[in-house]
Amino acid sequence: MNGEPFTFLQALYEGVEEGFLTFTAIHPDQHRPTPSRHVPIGDKRLLMDTLSRLQSANAQGWGAYFSVSTRKTDLGRWRRGGKVDLAALPALFVDLDGNRDVALRQLETYRFPPSCLVSSGGGLHVYWFIQPTMDWVQASLVLQELASELNGDATNIAQALRLPGTRNLKPNRNGALCHLISLHPERRYQLADFPTSSTHSAGQTLPSLPSITSKRPNPRLLQAVVDCLCREYGGFLKANGYLAALCPCGHCRDYPGSHFGLDPVRGVATCFGRHGRLRLKDLCSLLHIRPSQYGGLYASR
């Protein structure tokens, strides 16, 4: 097993000089404790030992995962860590669970050729290797944009993904092998190469919809939308300023933030499924809110 995962990890973490790689065994029933191991960058002996142990756990019915972002410290056996524990993100990624052939054709013409394609044993994991970054806000926005553009599942900067060279042991995957499809370590990008439709915290204005930049949303109407999402769709404000909620378009197995996010300042939402970008008037229609009751869609000048 060690050959393929080691090759993959070596390419992914090239240029990362410190921190810890985090590996986790997760049982498909998701009702058991999830042990993790944190390996210092550069400790090849411990890495190989960890990969062998993960192979053994995989053979006994446990899923084998790694966290894409490195961690600052060894978090111990029972912690994978969250945003505050992250040290560096070495790649952008998207998780595609739809028709694999359709996804591959789409990626063939995508403006950013992927650095790595992985068959997850049920879908595709797509990676774009970048100069390691700690700009968590912008990285989170880019991950949202990639998921929206490519119709992928929602992901986050602390995400754990299935390790290539292990088997997918979910009940409907029949032990399918998670394996490398292609690896191009020479394809390396900067985070700034991937624009988003939002404004970066440092003040750089990125491309956005003309109708949004030319008119300011009616704050009373926008507040009504936010209130409705919080009251009826489990909405909550995230650390990056976005509102996560259940998607009003409706999705199976949804949870707040899984398929939907709202910029509560600009009044633009994104359905990470097939509905894509949603303007304020779209949201009002979905939520059965009449803009005229709040003075219209836009603020008066």
CATH 3.90.580 domain locations along the chain:
210-294
Q: Quote the pLDDT of residue 301.
A: 54
pLDDT in tens, 45-70: 999 999 999 999 999 999 999 999 99
Q: Quick one: 3-193 is in which CATH superfamily?
A: RepB DNA-primase, N-terminal domain (3.30.70.1790)
Tell me the C-alpha distance between 149 and 103, whole Å.
Answer: 11
Q: Quote the pLDDT of residue 186.
A: 95
For residues 173, 178, 182, 187, the Cα torsion angle rounded to the nearest 10 degrees is: 110
- Structure confidence at residue 197 as a pLDDT band (50, 70, 90): low
CATH 3.30.70.1790 domain locations along the chain:
3-193
Q: Which residue has the higher pLDDT, 257 or 141?
A: 141
| In the predicted structure, residue 119 carries a pLDDT above the cut 60 | yes
- Structure confidence at residue 114 as a pLDDT band (50, 70, 90): very high
Start-to-end C-alpha separation, the chain = 64
- Structure confidence at residue 203 as a pLDDT band (50, 70, 90): very low
Q: For residues 252-279, give the mean pLDDT.
A: 82
CATH class entry, domain 210-294: alpha beta
Q: Quote the pLDDT of residue 215.
A: 67
Tell me the C-alpha distance between 5 and 165, whole Å.
Answer: 6
Q: For residues 200-206, give the mean pLDDT.
A: 37
For the chain, the average pLDDT equals 87
- Structure confidence at residue 209 as a pLDDT band (50, 70, 90): very low
Q: Quote the pLDDT of residue 208.
A: 34
Q: Which residue has the higher pLDDT, 25 or 242?
A: 25
Tell me the C-alpha distance between 212 and 217, whole Å.
Answer: 8
Q: Which of 76-85, 111-120, 275-284 has the lowest mean pLDDT?
A: 275-284
- Structure confidence at residue 214 as a pLDDT band (50, 70, 90): very low
Give the 3-state secondary structure of the chain. Answer: CCHHHHHHHHHHCCCCCCCEEEEEEECCCCCCCCCEEEEECCCHHHHHHHHHHHHHHHHCCCEEEEEEEEECCCCCCCCCCCHHHEEEEEEEEEEECCCHHHHHHHHHCCCCCCCEEEECCCCEEEEEEEEEECCHHHHHHHHHHHHHHHCCECCCCCCEEECCCEEECCCCCCCEEEEEEEECCCCEECHHHCCCCCECCCCCECCCCHHHHHCCECHHHHHHHHHHHHHHCCCEECCCCCEECCCCCCCCCCCCCCCEEEECCCCEEEECCCCEEECHHHHHHHHCCCHHHHCCCECCC
Beta-strand pair 166-168/176-183? antiparallel
Q: Quote the pLDDT of residue 205.
A: 36
